[in-house]
Amino acid sequence: MPSISKRGQQVPLSPFRKLAPLAEKAKAAGKHVYHLNIGQPDILTPPEALQQVQQANLKILEYSPAEGFLSYRKKLCEYYARFDVELNYEQVIVTTGASEAIQLVLLSCLNQGEEILAPEPFYANYNGFAHIADVQVCAITCDIETGFALPDAAAFERCLTPRTKAIFITNPNNPTGTFYGREVLEGLALLAKAYDLYLIVDEVYREFCYDGQPFFSALNLEGAEENVIVIDSVSKRYSACGARVGAVVTRNQAVLDAVSLYAKLRLSPPTLGQIVAEAAIDIGEAYLHEVKAEYDRRRMVVYNRLQQMPGVTSYLPGGAFYCFARFPIADADDFCQWLLSDFEYRGATVMLSPGAGFYATPGLGKDEVRIAYVLNVHDLEAAMDCLEEALRVYPGRLTETLIDEAIPAWG
Amino acid sequence: MPSISKRGQQVPLSPFRKLAPLAEKAKAAGKHVYHLNIGQPDILTPPEALQQVQQANLKILEYSPAEGFLSYRKKLCEYYARFDVELNYEQVIVTTGASEAIQLVLLSCLNQGEEILAPEPFYANYNGFAHIADVQVCAITCDIETGFALPDAAAFERCLTPRTKAIFITNPNNPTGTFYGREVLEGLALLAKAYDLYLIVDEVYREFCYDGQPFFSALNLEGAEENVIVIDSVSKRYSACGARVGAVVTRNQAVLDAVSLYAKLRLSPPTLGQIVAEAAIDIGEAYLHEVKAEYDRRRMVVYNRLQQMPGVTSYLPGGAFYCFARFPIADADDFCQWLLSDFEYRGATVMLSPGAGFYATPGLGKDEVRIAYVLNVHDLEAAMDCLEEALRVYPGRLTETLIDEAIPAWG
């Protein structure tokens, strides 16, 4: 029997994937599971955009050009113009979701063994994409006590190695919901220019910035045109995760050339998804406005409820639809398993993503979880009731003394 | 300015990609271009399958499970049963086209630096997928004089190295249209078992086997269950290239596990494409029967016309919708460029894929081209008129003496 590849056995998994069988078991036993672990929103996709698939009246479901339909690339430029970003369509390459965009960018920009520097906690699948490209994700640690604000430039400089090729951030951040404003980005751009690094910014949550904070795209960083590469996707902004339509956006011609070569290999991004995505750009502003208001309401529910739970540390996330929380427990993996296997409150329980999987540094995030607020306010309140009760009765809950003793281990 | 990766500059391109700008120029100048270079069929997608997208009446365009919709995986098992292949749905992982299926299989089965052995000429993008996985495609040469029949087992054995991990064939073959029957596959299975190799068979053209030859799936190779991995796609059989829906099919659990890990990283194959693909399996037999009959008519047009052209070598391809031809010319790259830039017959010209790009061995295929018969019979006759005239007037046409002299260089 031929042997499997070593790398095929070492693919890093998303933090909640191993909990999935436990959730299935809980549901089979009649327990309701509130899913706060995933990034699949419950928001309706714009109906006009979905209808466009039938109105297009296709006779042959053909390949699109490898870089995406010309009409869609041009329409995307109109969309970016709303954020004062001026582009021509050749600077936009359509991909099969942000997942593929990241992979093509890593392959295009980094050789085997080179490194990207990302603030941790970070979206766990970045590890997997790096694994495929045979590169490393190195982490600069952020702290829940500061709402995961980015460390200063000097801290970044200390993390650079001769193999560092790019700084990679998600803005607003998944998994922390942290929002990075113009000054933060300008600081990163200075670093990128000083050290000849790519500045790769995953902006898939750009529509969801709260508290009146204006989103500032990395594509507007003057003088860093050769450094900046933006990752995009329609999955979250139009609740169209299944469209599998993302993009690589950059003004760096060499990157565009390389990404385009890789894109040609796999022939075409999904045709039907592109039709939905193109139509979605033309729907009224009201849709995105309402979706953002809905997430904002949910954000406040999660924030307020967490603030009221004894021993829980959290913060008001500025964007996206995630936040992190620190619980008075020793091991969030154990807690999340216990929630699914041993806990029930009013016939329900809650599924969370254990925090450690979002950190590259061993030992960090063990008492933290990511919460995705992808349920309506009513369900979210019920989920928070579950969580509050769970933290109250959890046999592994640390007492105040134990927490104080445990703190040095977190440091 | 940060530097692009070395690999990003070395992505191997499909043989016809560099001709594309010349084709655009020809069209801009008012010339009609008969595209015999691509695998995009002109056949209608089953309308019932396309309609299913609207009948599904989706409210949220959600991710599917990473391995594909359960209902589609089960439906695919029904489809494979038509070829007497018994599978359960867990042995089928849905991918974003065959392109992704091949990439996930290479990553799962081969470590960096290992090799696959493939008969040449082979589908040129295999080189690109191997490039991404950092593995090598090694070639065993087939000859147009025998209709690209596979060499015998001893010849295969001579090509194996300590790094060979898999034999990779496409059945029926792209780019040659060669059909491999049961005995050929049984021979390869013996080799695979004897040397502990994977036998990866790309079966995306399985519906198109002519002359009454029955298709024999590698999944029916008894005793080779751990070796066989089948690559599949709906692109060609339902003329649904833009759906981007393929599959990895195997009974090897370790391979399924690894492919599933990689699949989870990119979250989901396209949802809308899967809806079309699932519905297509339920359409009547008449569609596939008629499509095959149509390709068969085209095949005979191409075969008969090539047979009548002086100095041209070809053969009757047994499957798919491609054939190779050897022309009395020194360099098919030059000829294909000349066709687009300098030639015109009745206001039209023809675009072909130069043969050399389908070979790994330098120097081979320089006087060969691939012809994809993806046009209706009427247009195909007109395209063959163009080609016949072009070969007659081409300034670089070799005389009989020159051909004889050139033969040693091809050997």
Same domain, A251 and A348: no
Q: Give the mutation candidate from A265, A287, A376 for the B interface (greatest B CB count, under 10 A).
A: A265
Instruction: State the alpha helices, DSSP H only, in B44-90.
Output: 47-55, 70-81
**Looking at residues B160-164, what average pLDDT do you find?**
97
Contacts of B97 in chain A (CB under 8 A): 266-268
Query: Is A107 in Cβ contact with B2 (below 8 Å)?
Result: no
List all residues of chain A from 261 to 300 with a beta carbon under 8 Å from chain B. Answer: 261-262, 264-273, 276
Euclidean distance between CA atoms B409 and B411, whole angstroms: 6
Write b or e for each residue in B282-296: b if 16 or more Cβ atoms lie within 10 A of its Cβ, otherwise e: eeeeebbeebbebbb
Q: Nearest C-alpha of chain B: how many angstroms from A283?
A: 16
Interchain CB contact of B27 with A (< 8 Å): no
pLDDT at site B401: 58
Query: What is the per-residue DSSP string for B77-137?
Result: HHHHHTTT----GGGEEEESHHHHHHHHHHHHH--TT-EEEEEES--THHHHHHHHHT-EE
CATH number at residue A359: 3.90.1150.10
Q: Is B79:B232 a contact under the CB 8 Å cutoff?
A: no
Q: Is B263:B67 a contact under the CB 8 Å cutoff?
A: yes
Instruction: State the alpha helices, DSSP H only, in A266-331.
Output: 271-281, 285-308
Residue in chain B lying closest to A51 (CA)? B54
Q: Nearest C-alpha of chain B: how many angstroms from A399?
A: 38
| B249: enclosing H helix or E strand | strand B246-250
Q: Is B175:B370 a contact under the CB 8 Å cutoff?
A: yes
Do the domain assignments include residue B259? yes
Same domain, B182 and B52: yes
Over residues B275-327, the pLDDT tens digits come to 999 999 999 889 999 999 999 999 999 999 999 999 999 999 999 999 999 99
pLDDT at site B400: 66
CB contacts < 8 A, A to B, total 246
Same domain, A129 and A270: yes
Same domain, A264 and A305: no
Task: Indicate the average pLDDT of chain A.
Answer: 94
Query: Which of A189, A136, A188, A187 lies closest to A163, judged by CA?
Result: A136
Same domain, B135 and B208: yes
Do the domain assignments include residue A4? no
pLDDT at site A79: 97
**Looking at residues B256-281, what average pLDDT do you find?**
96
How many helices, marked H, and strands, marked E, lie in chain A?
13, 12
In percent, how much of chain B has pLDDT > 90?
Answer: 89
Structure tokens at A287: 């849709």
Cα A164 to Cα A158, A186, A192, A330: the distances in Å are 11, 19, 10, 34
**Cis before A328? omega within 30:** no
Query: What is the per-residue DSSP string for A176-217?
Result: T-----HHHHHHHHHHHHHTT-EEEEE-TTTT-B-TTPPP--
| A228: enclosing H helix or E strand | strand A228-233
Euclidean distance between CA atoms A358 and A333, whole angstroms: 12
Write b or e for each residue in A331-347: b if 16 or more Cβ atoms lie within 10 A of its Cβ, otherwise e: ebbebbbbbbbebbbee
pLDDT at site B184: 97
Kindly tell me if the per-residue pLDDT of B406 is higher than 70.
no
Domain count, chain A: 2
Amino acid present at B200: I
Query: Is A262 in Cβ contact with B132 (below 8 Å)?
Result: yes
Residues with Cβ within 8 Å of A33's Cβ and at least 6 positions away in sequence, in order, are A23, A26, A27, A340, A348, A349, A350, A351
Do the domain assignments include residue A94? yes
Nearest to B268 among A58, A239, A241 (CB): A241
pLDDT at site A409: 46
Same domain, A308 and A182: no
pLDDT at site A402: 57
pLDDT at site A411: 36
Do the domain assignments include residue B230? yes
Same domain, B328 and B379: yes
Q: A397: domain range?
A: 10-39+286-410
Interchain CB contact of B217 with A (< 8 Å): no
β-strand pairing of A353-354 with B246-250? unpaired
β-strand pairing of B136-141 with B164-170? unpaired
Q: Nearest C-alpha of chain A: how many angstroms from B34?
A: 17
Kindly tell me if the per-residue pLDDT of A326 is higher than 70.
yes
Interchain CB contact of B171 with A (< 8 Å): no
What is the reported pTM? 0.94
Task: Indicate the average pLDDT of chain B.
Answer: 94
Query: Is A99 in Cβ contact with B267 (below 8 Å)?
Result: yes
Residue B411 pLDDT class (50, 70, 90 cuts): very low
Kindly tell me if the per-residue pLDDT of B393 is higher than 50.
yes
> Can you point out the beta strands (E) in B142-176?
164-170
Same domain, B111 and B13: no
Same domain, B200 and B298: no
pLDDT at site B13: 78
Q: Where a domain ends, among A254, A281, A308?
A: A281
**Looking at residues B32-47, what average pLDDT do you find?**
91
CATH number at residue B165: 3.40.640.10
- Please name the residue that has the structure tokens 């929380």: A325
Residue in chain B lying closest to A199 (CA)? B2
In percent, how much of chain A has pLDDT > 90?
Answer: 89
Do the domain assignments include residue B257? yes
Euclidean distance between CA atoms A372 and A46, whole angstroms: 21
Structure tokens at A136: 């490393």
Residue A17 pLDDT class (50, 70, 90 cuts): confident
Do the domain assignments include residue A3? no
Contacts of A198 in chain B (CB under 8 A): 2
pLDDT at site A18: 81
Q: Is A116:A106 a contact under the CB 8 Å cutoff?
A: yes
Largest Cα separation within chain B, whole Å, is 69
Nearest to B134 among A112, A166, A227 (CB): A112
Do the domain assignments include residue A347? yes
Instruction: Name the CA dihedral angle for B319, B322, B325, B330, rounded to a multiple of 10 degrees.
Output: -150
Q: Where a domain ends, among B217, B248, B281?
A: B281
pLDDT at site B410: 42
Over residues B339-366, the pLDDT tens digits come to 999 999 999 999 999 999 999 999 999 9
Between A13 and B302, residue with greater pLDDT: B302
Same domain, A259 and A235: yes
Do the domain assignments include residue B1? no
Distance of CA B359 to the CA centre of its chain: 14
Half-sphere exposure of A171 (CA within 13 A, CB side): 25
Q: Where a domain ends, among B281, B304, B325?
A: B281
Structure tokens at A217: 């795209």
Query: Which residues on adjacent β-strands are paired with residue B247?
Result: B94, B232
Same domain, B198 and B332: no
Over residues B93-121, the pLDDT tens digits come to 999 999 999 999 999 999 999 999 999 99
**Looking at residues A79-100, what average pLDDT do you find?**
97
Same domain, A109 and A211: yes
Phi, psi at B91, each rounded to 5°: -90, 5
Distance of CA B264 to the CA centre of its chain: 26
Interchain CB contact of A253 with B (< 8 Å): no
Contacts of A97 in chain B (CB under 8 A): 266-268
Q: Nearest C-alpha of chain A: how many angstroms from B188?
A: 15
